[in-house]
Amino acid sequence: RYVFSWHCSDGPGFSCPFLIDTTGAYFRRDGIAGNYLGGMSPPEEEEPDPSDLSVDHDYFQEQVWPRLARRVPVFSSLRLRSSWAGYYDHNAFDRNGVLGPHPKLENLFLAAGFSGHGLQHAPAAGRAVAELVVKGRYESLDLRRLGWRRLVEGEPLEEDGV
């Protein structure tokens, strides 16, 4: 996955949420000075070679930037600042986290595979696992849908924005 950083002094202000366009391009503000982070996940058949962590700047120019500029016209004048490539850690089954007890190993509890959502979900996932370990059930929020059952039974938890 590539992440691009750009500057656009006339870009959306503080009230702009993290935005995922219907085309798959996404962005969010990065600080207070007209800086943004964003990108777009390529279709599965166009995934880059995982052993090559160099950034394909043509991908930004030809695929990402035009989509961003259609969604936010002032981005047509953005100035690319930097970029990086890295691995997008997620479970390969449905790209959502797996939370809860392992179906066979009774002393193993998992909170993994949350991809880019991990930091955002960590407080709730930690609390949920603590409730399972201490009380044997979820109390604050029922998160059974994130459990192993869906993987074992082949029932993915679909989310369009992941």
Q: Could you list the pLDDT tens digit for every one of the 162 residues in the chain? A: 899 999 999 999 999 999 999 999 999 999 988 999 999 988 878 888 888 999 999 999 999 999 999 999 999 999 999 999 988 777 888 888 899 999 899 899 999 988 777 778 899 999 999 999 999 999 999 999 999 999 999 999 887 665
Are 6 and 66 contained in the same domain? yes
Are 55 and 106 contained in the same domain? no
Asked which of 42, 60, 85 is the last residue of a domain, the reply is 85
User: For 61, what's the count of Cα atoms within 13 Å in the CB-facing half-sphere?
Assistant: 4
Q: Specify if 159 maps to a domain.
A: no
Are 64 and 114 contained in the same domain? no
pTM for this prediction:
0.69
Q: Specify if 67 maps to a domain.
A: yes
List of residues 6+ apart from 22 with CB closer than 8 A: none
Residue of 100, 119, 120 lying closest to 110 (CA atoms):
100
pLDDT for position 111 = 92
Are 12 and 79 contained in the same domain? yes
Q: Specify if 15 maps to a domain.
A: yes
pLDDT for position 45 = 86
pLDDT for position 11 = 95
Residue position matching structure tokens 């600042």: 81
pLDDT for position 36 = 98
Are 35 and 103 contained in the same domain? no
Are 6 and 81 contained in the same domain? yes
pLDDT for position 106 = 87
Structural domain of 117: 98-152
pLDDT for position 160 = 66
Are 81 and 102 contained in the same domain? no
Are 106 and 80 contained in the same domain? no
Number of domains in the chain: 2
- Report whether 129 contacts 111 (CB < 8 A): yes
Are 8 and 54 contained in the same domain? yes
Are 77 and 125 contained in the same domain? no
Are 107 and 144 contained in the same domain? yes
Residues β-bridged to residue 4: 38, 83
